[in-house]
């Protein structure tokens, strides 16, 4: 059996963290078993689906490098296929036309709730042996309902939650086509999973209530029933469901904030799944290790501090050229000069130890490429006549040296000794004039990267 998984978002909003984790687990499970991973866009909700949401989903998948083997497949392109199956179910007396109006259904719902009953369709238009149906009303576009079994149970072994059993009497006759003929979500999912030979449905546990309905539909079609694995929801630090107020609007928001996809994926992989004590691992290792047995059935809690720690780790340890590629969009936001690639690698190398986000790292290294006017507070604190005299003495001693960090450092030591001062008395004024701020990596390393000419040019603005 070839393992086939799918990620099937509805384009009614952005790709959020919960959806990204579902996509990651589905992708990894297919990779682990040398199977197929499908991206399906479930866009049958024509009123709420938007092109912007589709783009946001695609952008998120691309940024996270969750490459799919097939897709994107749009459900709106498959309407004729769904209609064929709906007609088949009607013909086989497994579905029927329902003419109950919205007003009737609302009155029914209210009466059931007042009586303390679970709201459920009363089966008014359901054909039964010996039952007479009401006269067909005028001006009502009928919906199509599936004849759900009225007795017995639906049982499946959920690969995360364990055995789940739902009584059929708890389920009403599901609407599978609206009055305008468009098929509903639950019906399209069933047809797609069957036709696409999906073997494992990995999704959020908010879909558990849909599963028995979908299983009954699959049985009615004599279709193969996939294995189901329902992931528990992700909670915020306050124990509540992760939402906009926790800052979780879109996966691409994490891009905007300067996170690396490597950090996001590594963090999501550990949200509800574990491999011993391993905290940091590559996606290659994750795909090799990932299984459904070690997914916890309890909710995972999102911890921004831990994500920041992981992001900092990857900024420090990934190859310099990877960070250089990732930081380019952020550099373009803070500067306008052309970026020399060799200079960029050197700048990242001496700055990344302190960085938690690419946004801050871009801001930290911008002075390497463009002169930054000194911060007024730092300027007033460190720049005075004595400091400028020290810098003149230092500048004069630089003329004859090879331009290396070590040689520059030796000259700084000579000047400090000559004037009987502490090292910061020279280093801090140099830092302010060359970088514009009072904090930077070792100033001799900064000067080596800036080069002789640029260093002298910046110093001469004040001498």
Helix H or strand E encompassing 207: none
CA separation for the pair 315, 309 (Å, rounded):
10
Helix (H, G, I), strand (E, B) or coil at 189: helix
| Gap between the Cα atoms of 311 and 289, Å rounded | 22
Closest-CA residue to 204 (of 156, 260, 158) = 158
List of long-range contacts for 383-389, beta carbons under 8 Å, 24+ apart: 383/429, 383/432, 383/433, 383/462, 387/425, 387/429, 388/429, 388/462, 388/463
Of the candidates 385, 382, 398, 393, the one whose C-alpha atom is nearest the C-alpha of residue 430 is 382
244 is in an annotated binding site: yes
Report the alpha-carbon distance of residue 99 to residue 106 in Å, rounded: 14
Residue 282 in contact with residue 319, Cβ under 8 Å? no
Distance from CA of residue 269 to its chain's centroid?
Answer: 11
Q: Considering all CA atoms of the chain, what is the largest pairwise distance in Å, rounded to the nearest integer?
A: 111
Up-side HSE of residue 212: CA atoms within 13 Å toward CB? 19
Taking the C-alpha atoms of residue 334 and residue 396, their distance in angstroms, rounded to an integer, is 34
* Known binding-site residue numbers for ATP: 244
* Known binding-site residue numbers: 244
């Amino acid at each position: 059996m070839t393992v086939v998984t799918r990620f099937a978002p509805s384009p009614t909003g952005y790709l959020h963290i919960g959806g990204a984790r579902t996509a990651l687990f589905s992708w990894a499970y297919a990779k682990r078993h040398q199977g197929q991973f499908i991206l399906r866009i479930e866009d049958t909700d024509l009123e709420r689906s938007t092109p912007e949401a589709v783009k946001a989903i695609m952008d998120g998948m691309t940024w996270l490098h969750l490459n799919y083997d097939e897709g994107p497949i749009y459900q709106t392109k498959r309407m004729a296929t769904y209609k064929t199956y709906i007609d088949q179910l009607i013909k086989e007396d497994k579905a029927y036309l329902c003419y109950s109006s919205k007003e009737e259904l609302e009155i029914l719902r209210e009466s059931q709730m007042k009586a303390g009953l679970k709201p459920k369709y009363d089966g008014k238009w359901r054909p039964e042996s010996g039952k007479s149906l009401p006269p067909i009303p005028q001006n009502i576009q009928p919906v199509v309902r599936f004849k759900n079994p009225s007795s017995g149970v639906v049982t499946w072994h959920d690969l995360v939650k364990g055995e789940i059993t739902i009584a059929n009497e708890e389920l009403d006759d599901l609407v599978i086509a609206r009055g305008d003929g468009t098929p509903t979500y639950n019906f399209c999912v069933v047809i797609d999973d069957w036709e696409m030979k999906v073997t494992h449905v990995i999704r959020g546990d908010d879909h558990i209530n849909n599963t028995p309905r979908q299983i009954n539909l699959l049985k009615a079609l004599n279709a193969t029933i996939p294995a189901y694995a329902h992931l528990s929801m992700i909670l915020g630090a306050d124990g509540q469901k992760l939402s906009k107020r926790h800052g979780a609007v879109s996966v691409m928001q994490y891009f905007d904030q300067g996170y690396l996809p490597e950090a996001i994926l590594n963090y999501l992989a550990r949200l509800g799944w574990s491999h011993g004590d391993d905290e940091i691992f590559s996606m290659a290792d994750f795909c090799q290790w990932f299984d459904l047995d070690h997914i916890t059935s309890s909710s995972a809690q999102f911890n921004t501090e831990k994500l920041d720690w992981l992001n900092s780790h990857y900024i420090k340890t990934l190859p310099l050229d990877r960070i250089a590629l990732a930081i380019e969009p952020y550099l373009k936001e803070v500067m306008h000069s052309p970026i020399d690639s060799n200079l960029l690698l050197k700048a990242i190398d001496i700055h990344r130890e302190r960085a938690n986000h690419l946004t801050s790292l871009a801001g930290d290294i911008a002075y390497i490429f463009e002169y930054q006017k000194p911060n007024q507070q730092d300027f007033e604190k460190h720049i005075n006549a004595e400091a400028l005299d020290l810098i003149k003495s230092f500048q004069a001693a630089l003329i004859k040296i090879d331009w290396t960090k070590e040689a520059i450092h030796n000259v700084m030591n000579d000047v400090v000794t000559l004037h009987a001062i502490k090292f910061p008395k020279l280093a801090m004024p140099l830092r302010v004039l060359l970088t514009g701020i009072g904090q930077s990596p070792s100033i001799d390393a900064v000067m080596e990267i800036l080069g002789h000419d640029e260093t002298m040019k910046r110093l001469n603005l004040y001498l």
